[in-house]
Amino acid sequence: MTLLPRAVVDRRTVLRLAGLTAGAGAVVTAALPEAATAAEGAFRHGVASGDPLPGGVLLWTRVTPTADSVPGSGAGPAVSVEWQVATDAGFATVVSSGTFATGPERDHTVKVDVSGLEPATTYWYRFGYDGTWSPAGRTMTAPAASDAVGRLRAGVVSCANWEAGHFAAYRHLAERGDLNLVVHLGDYLYEYGTGDFTAGGSVVRRTEPAHETVTLADYRIRHAQYKTDPDLRALHASVPWVITWDDHEVANDMWSGGAENHTPGSEGDFRARVAAARQAYAEWMPVRLAGDGHIYRRLRYGDLFELSMLDLRTYRSEQQGGTAADDEDRTIAGAEQLAWLTDGLVSSTALWKLVGNPVMISRLDVGTLPAWLVPPLAELIGVPQNGVVLNVDQWDGYNADRERLVDTLRAHGTKDVVFLTGDIHTSWANELTTKDTGPTRPAAAEFVVPSVTSDNLNDFLKTRAGGPLSVLAGSLIRATNPHIRWVETDGHGFGVLEVTRSRCRMDWYHLADRTRRDSAARWVQGWSVGRGSAKLRRETGAPLS
């Protein structure tokens, strides 16, 4: 793929790429932040920004004030950390600054919700402690809600398993130079112990702690390890992120009262484990959480789109097979969140309504698939081994919620809804249909991005990537599910989303080798949906690069 040069990306260039109509302001002619190279010192876990608003953005770092103040230790002094926001990379024009008190009670993390900034503007930020400054980060505020926005590009990622490889996908996104934000759809990290979830049976990098994360200290240590990855730090420092969680931030196949990967007898009370995981997440992630701790939220980018980020783990009923999928009392989103989502979609005045959706909402019918394909699908995406035709961990297991959502969209004539999905480690372009829409009148489009590193179908089948069994599997899935316009079951990588006033397009990029940090990436396919239609079209022109 062709990448824009990393050397000079100024504010005018960013605004031109995004097609914003906000004022241009002064030109910034400085290189992107080099946070990936600064692992030593007080700020060894890098810097990050997230949840950009028209007048502000959330800034994050972690300080290590003393040698014993390591993550998860509970040791070290209470300290004050300086922070600065400037319009230039040299910090000659500081427009906002302050101090933040932190200590062992919050694992020495720093989160500053900066306000009073200009909309649609590129800023640089840094943190200071004991006479030294952190690496500088670059961030961008959102345009004002009423601004006419022409274009925006976002990196879209999910499922980054430390032991299964390196995060080359993050490196490729950080080097592009044309992104306004990154959308992460969950499984930012994994809870497993060493050897429990690998790269097709091989451990590429060992996790810390070596055992499964259960306690607050465990989750803090695991978060800290992830933020030692240089490519993850580089992407965090280059562009703001909008993130939600899925199950592995706590435990596999989590629901409101438990998880497949939690054993109360040996791992304690599940609610205590959730509280520990959520506390570490709140400390270590550049995410705004509500006062009651909920993560579902909505961000707007001018008149171009609103992005609703979902939480499909905290409120869901336990996964069940059979006819339970149609039970009106079972939910994947919870009544309050589902009402928030549907009300927001039908009342939105934005051109596009995007939904950050941790698990696939489109149907996956497997009743006519051959016996050899069902077991690996079961392991990959949750289809029960007993042959029940249902993906119980995704929206397929909660059909009543999906019907309610789609019926509301249709009743209000709500169009231009696009779901951005992760979780299943593979690449899909889907049209959302139900029994009431029929196959020819989809209610929305869905783009599913592959895993950054987590195992795919060929890993479970023990075959080479792109081999005949994987090709056949994709063909069989599409034949059984005509609303699935494209599926690729083996690639690891990332998506690049481009939103314009006339279309919403996703391009998929796959890595040559997830086990290598220097892995190349190649463009695979692009699919788009036009305004006023939920029918997908394959892109045959140049890739988004």
**480-490 per-residue burial string, b: 16 or more CB within 10 A, e: under 16:** ebebbbbbbbb
170 falls within a domain: yes
Q: Is the model's pLDDT at 317 over the cut of 50?
A: yes
Q: Is the model's pLDDT at 150 over the cut of 90?
A: yes
43 falls within a domain: no
Domain extent, residue 464, equals 151-538
What is the C-alpha to C-alpha distance for residues 381 and 364, in angstroms, rounded to an integer? Answer: 10
Residue 15: phi and psi, rounded to 5, are: -65, -35
pLDDT value for 285: 98
Q: Is the model's pLDDT at 387 over the cut of 60?
A: no
Counted domains in the chain:
1
Q: Which residues contact 532 (CB under 8 A, 6 or more apart)?
A: 415, 416
* Residue in 431, 434, 375, 365 with CA at minimum distance from that of residue 400: 434
Residue 230: phi and psi, rounded to 5, are: -65, -35
Q: Is the model's pLDDT at 165 over the cut of 60?
A: yes
Residue 255 and residue 317 in contact, taking contact as beta carbons nearer than 8 Å: yes
- As beta bridge partners, residue 132 has 129
Q: Which two tokens stand for residue 370?
A: 């051959």
Q: Is the model's pLDDT at 495 over the cut of 60?
A: yes
Residue 434 and residue 402 in contact, taking contact as beta carbons nearer than 8 Å: yes
**Averaged pLDDT, 111-138:** 97
Per-residue model confidence as pLDDT tens digits over 318-361: 999 877 888 999 999 999 999 999 999 999 999 999 999 999 99
Under the banding of pLDDT at 50, 70 and 90, the label for residue 369 is low
**31-64 per-residue burial string, b: 16 or more CB within 10 A, e: under 16:** ebbebbebbeebbbbbbbbbbbbbebbbbbbbbb
Q: Regarding predicted confidence, which is higher, 473 or 441? A: 441
Under the banding of pLDDT at 50, 70 and 90, the label for residue 370 is low
Per-residue model confidence as pLDDT tens digits over 445-476: 999 999 999 998 888 777 888 888 888 888 88
457 falls within a domain: yes
What is the C-alpha to C-alpha distance for residues 535 and 545, in angstroms, rounded to an integer? Answer: 24
139 falls within a domain: no
**Averaged pLDDT, 204-209:** 97
403 falls within a domain: yes
* Residue in 160, 207, 153 with CA at minimum distance from that of residue 181: 153
Per-residue model confidence as pLDDT tens digits over 15-42: 333 333 333 222 222 334 443 333 468 9
* CATH number for the domain that contains residue 427: 3.60.21.70
Q: Which two tokens stand for residue 110?
A: 């720093």
The mean pLDDT of the chain is: 89
pLDDT value for 9: 31
pLDDT value for 391: 76
What is the C-alpha to C-alpha distance for residues 265 and 171, in angstroms, rounded to an integer? Answer: 41
Q: Is the model's pLDDT at 139 over the cut of 80?
A: yes
Q: Which residues contact 40 (CB under 8 A, 6 or more apart)?
A: none
What is the C-alpha to C-alpha distance for residues 249 and 212, in angstroms, rounded to an integer? Answer: 12
Q: Which residues contact 496 (CB under 8 A, 6 or more apart)?
A: 153, 154, 155, 156, 173, 176, 179, 506, 507, 509, 544, 545
Per-residue model confidence as pLDDT tens digits over 171-182: 999 999 999 999
- As beta bridge partners, residue 61 has 47, 110
